[in-house]
Structure 1
Amino acid sequence: MTNFGRKQSALFMASAAAAIMPATAAAQDAAPTSGDIIVTAQRQEQRLQDVPISVTAFGAEQLRDNSIETVQDIAIRTPGLAVSAVDPVNTNFSMRGIGSPPGISQNAGGDPSVVVFIDGVYAGRGGTPDLDALDLERVEVLRGPQGTLFGKNAIGGLVQFISRKPTDDTSFFFDATYGNYNRLGVSARGNMALTDNIYLSAGLSHKQRDGFEYNETTGNDVNDLNLTTGRIALRFVPTDTLDIILRADIAHQDQRGNPRHNDCDTSFNGGIHCVGINPDPRVVNAYIDGEVKRTIQTYSAEVNLELPSGTLTSLTALRKVKFNFVTPFFSNPINPPAQIESTSFGEEDNSQFSQELRFAFDAWDGRLKGQTGAYFLKENNDRVEGQIQDFPTPAGSGTGIYPQSVNARSVAVFGQVDFEIVPSLTATVGARMTWERKSGRFAGFKADSGPGLPPPLGSIGGYDVTGKKSWKAFTPRFALNWKATDDVLLYASVARGYKSGGFQGLSGTASGASTPYDPEFAWGYEVGAKTDWLDRRLRLNVAAFRTDYSDLQVSQLIPLCCVVVSNAAKARIKGIEIEAVARPFDGFQIDGSYAYLEAKFTEYSIPGLNYTGNRVPRSPKNKFNIGGQFETPIGELSAKLRVDYSWVDDAYFEASNIPQQLWPSHENLDARLSLSGPNDRWELSLWGKNLTDELTPTYVTYFGAFRQILTPYAPPRTYGVTVAFKI
């Protein structure tokens, strides 16, 4: 199908979905006549349909029925959310067109534009967790600036992972999976009461598979998987007013790397850098396989104390991440056995401690509700990154090392209140004040005796410098919502978001390494409607938004030098999002979403380049997904079929908008067929993902000087069988 045909199909199917199946994909776990799902998008428990924010939520049953294992699976089904990746563990979120490219988020002094919270704990670095072992109750995706209640770096939005709390029920769950590429997976979760007021839950998961790509040089499969995760939670409820939860989780990943496939820029008409390249995109020619090793540890203590005037919550957390990588990102045989090689390697050791105190109150017979609190975050990040350049001639070869050590501290106070002006009309006012400081030491030096030295050092002899900077930010929120009927909520909001400033880290010069870039800010304006119809068998949620960004942090790859980060841009983003679900009769459901996004730079000019008017990276104009689910009894058994299709318009990976860095339009088709026993005691399921075997790049790096396009790809067609038991 041509791009034009796909776009027309996207618009037609989305329009049809909006016309015939109003309801949100966020409430798919609920009964047909209820549709309720409880979320904590405003740091308090509320029905999804009562939250005046654009939120998509996935309950535990939906996560299972849709075979959702990764954040990429979530992005496929969420309007406004895109996920790219330069390697198997470092994902880059983009929400409504705003996200941090690798040049910013993957140095020691940078931060993301869309953040992740796990059971309320800010996960600043290290990637996202494995969903299998978390025993998730739900996943929430909040779109638009969330600077008031969630703070820094939620300028584009955020993703929350919320696990089940331990209870006094005794339960046990086990599943095992086998699939193509020798996919093997097992997970087990359990919950039990130790005493009348102490409850324990725990989970363990392991998954492994062969690689999706083949390295012709080494003869090995690469981009494989070997991941083990585990968690434990202990809950103590000594009185009716005190609830204490201690949580710990750990994930360990150790696998081969993800060498880039090299494509020759056809506009170059051949040349030395095109010789010997295998045209198969699932074949690479790297001199080594590389490696990815990652360990994530999170420990937290949550205390909830019910007082006569409200609820006091304390959340204390320690998070540690260790990450090692070796990535042969530029490998090309020329007149074998000679090779051209560029390799990135390094390790990162990150630790963060956070403390949050919140007080939620309810006064005047419910007419005044709100919360106030204080937040503290201390983060230490030590990163050593190196680059090896190996050309056939010694003059072009060498190794550069770039140690970075950054200490960051963030302190904030915040509050938000909802006041019922008249019955059914509520005004929301909130604000957050943040004070932040970063300091670091940055170095770059030559590490071998070869005459050549790779970018970004070039001919620079080396440097060892320090830098520090403090910032502050005020991020208010104003909203007005009208509960027109029990099933119709109309709202309008204005909110400000803030993303931390930082340091270049990997720089070509001493001044570049020690000079900070400033925070970026955004004002988000949104109007929306959340509606239920026909005894809540139909649901339609619609949001229209505009976001104005200033001091936008942008990164630019300078050929044969480095990635330069600066506050060089302003952007205006506007769009419409629709989420819908229809349950015309028991056992049958159709759901879907559609997003239209117009994201352009209103100002972006740096010496020698002018990108004003260009599209913001990773901002597809059109995106939609549609899914169908049918469940029917077969005697004492139950069968369920789920099919999901999504289509995403083309976009660009970089602000230059050159065709070599196009993110082409792509589609995805997933399906799952399950058979379960009485009371769901057991289940056998057959599943497939990316059934059309779409070849989708997850990032593109273009080296114009060498006419090389370096591309990692999303997983190919995968399928398998899973058997599960529960007690």
Structure 2
Amino acid sequence: MLSTSMRPLTAHLCLALAGGAFTCGARAQQDPDGTAVLDSVVVRSTKQERTLLQTAASIDLVDGQAVERQGLQSLADVAQQLPNVYFTDFTGSTPTLSLRGLGFSDDESDSLSTSVLIDGVPVYGNALGTLFDLDRIEVLRGPQSTLYGQNSMGGLVSLRTRDPGLQWGGSAQFDYGSGNRRRASAAFDMPLGERTGLRLSLGSEDADGHVDNRALGRSDTAGWSSRFARLKLLHTDGAGGEWRLGLHHARREGGNDFFVSTAQAHAHESAASDAGRSDTDYTLLTGEYQRALRGGQRLAITLGATEAHWNYWMPLSQYGGPSGFDSRTRQFSAEARLSSASAPVGGLDWMAGAYASRMDKSAPYLFEVPGYMRSETTARVRGATAAVFGELGWRLAERWRLAGALRLEQDRRRMDWASDQSGYFDSDGDGVPDTPYTSADRIDGLRVRDSEWLPRLTLEWTPAAEQFAWLTLARGYKASGFNLYAYTPSSAATPYAPEYGNHVEAGWRMRGAGNRWDLGATVFHTRLRDQQVVVIGAGGASLVSNAGRSHSEGVELNAALRPTAGLELRGCAGWVRAQYDDYVKGGEDFAGRQFPNTPRHSFGLALNWKPADGWETGVSVRRVGSSALYPDSTVTNAAYTLVDAHVSFRAGRWTLGLYGKNLGDAKYLVRALDARTVVAGAPRTLGVRASVDF
């Protein structure tokens, strides 16, 4: 791949709390008296499904209805609400998440720090430019080796879609907002029998975006058009087994007019000669089977296949010629696990599982400066992962449980690479190209292979029914990978070495009597070795690199107070120090430098109030600390404040609502190609939403 100014790598620095929509660790549900409760939503566990108060991990659960109510468009919007969760998104529609500072260069490699799953099946997160018809979103931080089949070094995001209902019904939503955003969607539940239901959800969204192109006299060069649909079947068999089959598809076509000077970015203006292009689509097939067996044992099987496509081109005026790619990714995965029931005091519980996946990714890249050079490369990576894992738990006392887990994983990757280049050298250094050159290079069958043991030890303590605490020691691992956009044989032939992390985490959750308050805190420290990063070398080329030693440590805090029915005040804060300890590259010493895309601190307060039947209103204020922008870490994004609000009224089957994001119109940046080329965050956004149930 070429220089930072030749291909976008992004970072978005946000943390916060949305007014009433997010609960920083739990999903909001309503008691008959109207108060929010920490409900019995379950997350996948190493043993059996558990409630939030029983899950030994730093986790946030986001209500799927809040995604619609707040007008949230992608995982990038979700990341703005959660502590120590950030994102990169250099096109407005291809977000890549970073958790606790890990994952900021995932789009440069075929190995990922942060996994994204839909109904348990891996999918490339940068294809998820549109969220729709979700039951909830689970965001887990830290190494995950046994909770889901796919291993993740930094954490994972799991999207659970809504199950079909067994009665006829449905809903429709209509949304209009800033940037001429128009969205219409509908969902239908269709019972096929007493034990079988089908759900169809579909919709469309069109918008002009928030960039005014002064050169073209247009305000829609950064706009988009998306279409999405899902068909999901739920069947309960005679033995009590639950079958879920899903077919998911989304396509988003949009412009790419985001790369401007700082002054233009703050004004949301552009002078590009054309809109560029960023089109994404994915098709996903998911299958799940779960069944309770004799003796309290539980069987769970998940199968999936996904194909993602990303057609990306910079505006021609950015470099005077074409720059972009048209990549495709296919992945097949299978997971099976068998677990026992909870054990009595002195007893043992267990879980055993297996996971396998295959991946095929084509990553071409074209860059041309007319009259000077043209580089066209193609990298094809094929990989396979196989893993077995298990956990053995000991209920050593009534309120204590000790669990040891182990994962054995083998990863294989093969890359075929080709390059055709032509151009001119400046042989005498006078600034005038004078020596022509052409080159054609190939690398066939470049292979890497890893076999790793990933142990995990967790001590759980439940001092009371409404309290839970844990201490976890774990080893994290990120597989070897390739630089998919290398443009020289030497950089293409140099793969990433595996990345390792020793992780310790302690957490505590507590809920007060009558659900009048709740508290939660997590502290963590991860010591990293051979961290996979992207660096900029001579001539502006991005190169594969491994930092010798680095670390990530910090805390996540959340609290809520509910003094009266219908009134909730919630706070959320995060602090992280994620920095290099031993890393010298290109003669520059990075020791002591914070990872890009990682503000040290962020915090937020939110008030949600239901003054009368049918009425709901909320407001939130969030402060995001300053940090360096990825990939040019010499560019600093100043601290900024986001203010959001919403109000809604429900009458019978109809709900009407207003929402606003970034009401103070804070000016902030989300990436920096170089000191002269940056991308702005979203400006003030207003919208109106109407929905009807039928």
TM over 0.5: yes
Match of 1:38 in 2: 41
Aligned-residue CA RMSD in angstroms?
2.7
On the 8 A contact 1:259/1:286 being kept in 2, the answer is no
For residue 669 of structure 1, what is the aligned residue in structure 2? 643
Q: Give the conservation status (yes or no) of the 8 Å contact 1:576–1:596.
A: yes
AA partner of residue 515 (structure 2): R
- Counterpart code for 1:355: A
- 1:650 aligned to which of 603, 626, 641: 626
Q: For 1:424, which of 380, 396, 399 is the aligned residue?
A: 399
Question: Would you say the 8 A contact 1:262–1:710 is kept in 2?
Answer: yes
Instruction: Tell me how far apart the structure 2 counterparts of residues 279 and 663 of structure 1 sit (CA, whole Å).
Output: 12
**Correspondent of 2:357 among 341, 363, 377:** 377
Counterpart position of 1:603: 582
| 2:312 pairs with 1:325 | yes
Worse-matched range after superposition: 306-315 or 530-539? 306-315
1:592·1:625 contact (CA, 8 Å) conserved in 2? yes
Q: Deviations over 1:310-357 (max 9, x none)?
A: 2222211110011111113873xxxxxxxx636421101111111111
**What is the aligned length?**
662
Contact in 2 for aligned 1:249/1:298 (Cα 8 Å): yes
Cα distance, 1:141–1:605 mapped onto 2, change above 3 Å: same
Q: Contact 1:542 / 1:576 at 8 angstroms: preserved in 2?
A: yes
Partner of 1:229: 228
User: For residues 378-403 of structure 1, what are the alpha-carbon distances to aligned partners after superposition, in whole Å with 9 as ceiling and x for unaligned?
Assistant: 0001121111224xxx3xx2321111
Which residue does the alignment assign to 2:414?
Answer: 439
Task: Name 2:96's counterpart in structure 1.
Answer: 92
Pick from 144, 147, 150 the counterpart of residue 148 of structure 2.
150
Cα distance, 1:549 vs structure 2: 0.7
Q: Secondary structure at the match of 2:146?
A: coil
Q: Which amino acid aligns with 1:724?
A: S
Is the Cα–Cα contact under 8 Å of residues 266 and 668 in structure 2 kept in the other structure?
no
Q: Which amino acid aligns with 1:381?
A: K
Work out whether residues 645 and 668 of structure 1, in 8 Å CA contact, stay in contact via their aligned partners in 2.
Answer: yes
Cα distance in 1 for residues equivalent to 2:69 and 2:25: 13
Residues 93, 113 of structure 1: 8 Å contact kept: no
| Residue 657 (structure 1) shift | 4.5
Contact map agreement 1:24 1:581 (CA 8 A) in 2: no
Going from structure 1 to structure 2, the CA distance change for 1:125 and 1:480 (only over 3 Å counts) comes to same
- The 5-angstrom pairing of residues 303-314 of structure 1 reads 303-309=289-295, 310-314=297-301
2:44 and 2:148 in contact (8 A); partners too: no
Q: How does 1:111-510 map to 2 (within 5 A)?
A: 111-124=111-124, 126-128=126-128, 130-132=130-132, 135-150=133-148, 154-220=152-218, 221-263=220-262, 281-309=267-295, 310-328=297-315, 331=318, 341=320, 343-362=322-341, 364-365=343-344, 367-390=347-370, 394=371, 397-446=372-421, 461-466=439-444, 467-510=446-489
Q: How does 1:45-64 map to 2 (within 5 A)?
A: 45-64=49-68
1:713 to 664, 677, 680: 680
The one-character-per-residue Cα deviations of 1:631-672 (angstroms, maximum 9, x if unpaired) are 122xxx5111011221110111248742xx213212211111
2:8 matched residue in structure 1: none
In structure 2, relative to structure 1, the CA distance for the partners of 1:142 and 1:461 (3 Å cut) is: same
SS, match of residue 258 in structure 1: coil
Residues 355 and 80 of structure 1: CA distance in aligned 2, closer, same or farther (over 3 Å): same
Moved more, 411-420 or 345-354: 411-420
Alpha-carbon distance change, 175 to 442 in structure 1, aligned in 2, over 3 angstroms? same
Q: Secondary structure at the match of 1:387?
A: strand
The Cα shift of 1:210 comes to 0.7
The Cα of 1:171 is off from its aligned counterpart by 2.3
Q: 1:547 is matched with which residue: 526, 532, 538?
A: 526
Contact 2:406 2:455 survives alignment (8 Å): yes
Q: Is the 8 A contact 1:625 1:644 kept in 2?
A: yes
Task: Provide the C-alpha distance between the structure 1 equivalents of 2:386 and 2:361, rounded to a whole number of angstroms.
Answer: 18
Q: Deviations over 1:519-554 (max 9, x none)?
A: 111121111211112322100001111111111011
Alpha-carbon distance in structure 2 between the residues aligned to 1:430 and 1:675: 48
> In 1, distance between residues paired with 2:689 and 2:280?
27
Structure 2 distance, partners of 1:187, 1:620, is: 36
C-alpha distance 308-178 of structure 1, shift in aligned 2 (>3 A): same
Question: Among residues 70, 73, 80, which one is paired with 2:77 in the alignment?
Answer: 73
Check whether the contact 1:674–1:685 (CA below 8 A) recurs between aligned residues.
yes
Alpha-carbon spacing, 1:24–1:381, altered in 2? closer, same or farther (3 Å): closer
Q: Provide the secondary structure at the position in 1 that maps to 2:491.
A: helix
- Asked if structure 2 preserves the Cα contact closer than 8 Å seen for 1:114 and 1:153, the reply is no
Contact 1:380 1:406 in 2 (8 A): yes
- Could you tell me which amino acid in structure 2 is paired with residue 121 of structure 1? V
In structure 2, relative to structure 1, the CA distance for the partners of 1:592 and 1:169 (3 Å cut) is: farther
- Is contact 1:490-1:529 (8 Å) kept? yes
Q: C-alpha displacement at 1:493, in angstroms?
A: 0.8
Q: By how many angstroms is 1:25 displaced? A: 4.6
In structure 2, what is the Cα distance between the partners aligned to 1:632 and 1:137? 26
Name the CA distance, whole Å, in 2 between partners of 1:385 and 1:279: 26
1:698 aligns with 2:670: yes
- Percent identical: 23
Are 1:116 and 1:128, in contact at CA under 8 Å, matched by a contact in 2? Answer: no
Distance 1:388 1:584 in 2: 63
Tell me how far apart the structure 2 counterparts of residues 656 and 181 of structure 1 sit (CA, whole Å).
29
SS, match of residue 38 in structure 2: coil
Asked if structure 1 preserves the Cα contact closer than 8 Å seen for 2:314 and 2:324, the reply is: yes
Deviation at 1:370, TM superposition (A): 3.4
User: Which amino acid is the alignment partner of residue 216 of structure 1?
Assistant: R
* In structure 2, C-alpha distance between the alignment counterparts of 1:363 and 1:721, rounded to whole Å: 47
Q: Is the 8 A contact 2:534 2:542 kept in 1?
A: yes
Structure 2 SS opposite 1:497: strand
CA contact (8 A) 1:39 1:140 kept: no
- 1:413 to partner: Cα distance: 0.4
Q: Report the 3-state secondary structure (helix = DSSP H, G, I; strand = E; otherwise coil) of the residue aligned with 2:677.
A: strand
Counterpart residue number, 1:572: 551
Give me the TM-score of the superposition, normalised by structure 2: 0.90
Kept after mapping to 2: 8 A contact 1:38/1:45:
no
Retained in 1: the 8 A contact 2:274–2:317?
A: no
Task: Output the CA distance in 1 between the equivalents of 2:142 and 2:365.
Answer: 33
**CA 1:363 to 1:185, structure 2 compared with 1: closer, same or farther past 3 Å?**
closer
- Structure 1, 287-296 or 431-440: larger mean CA deviation: 287-296
- Alpha-carbon shift at residue 508 of structure 1 (Å): 3.7
Q: Contact conserved, 2:213 with 2:221, CA < 8 A, in 1?
A: yes
How far apart are the structure 1 equivalents of 2:54 and 2:158?
A: 18
> C-alpha separation between the residues in 2 aligned to 1:255 and 1:400?
25
8 Å CA contact 1:146, 1:496 repeated in 2: no
Distance 1:119 1:552 in 2: 29
Q: Which amino acid in structure 2 is aligned with residue 383 of structure 1?
A: A
Cα distance, 1:118 vs structure 2: 0.8
Q: Give me the TM-score of the superposition, normalised by structure 1.
A: 0.86
Question: What residue identity is the alignment partner of 1:42?
Answer: S
Report the more deviating stretch, 281-290 or 374-383: 281-290
The answer as to whether partners of 1:152 and 1:500 remain within 8 angstroms in 2 is no
SS in 1 for 2:599: coil
SS of structure 1 residue aligned to 2:153: coil
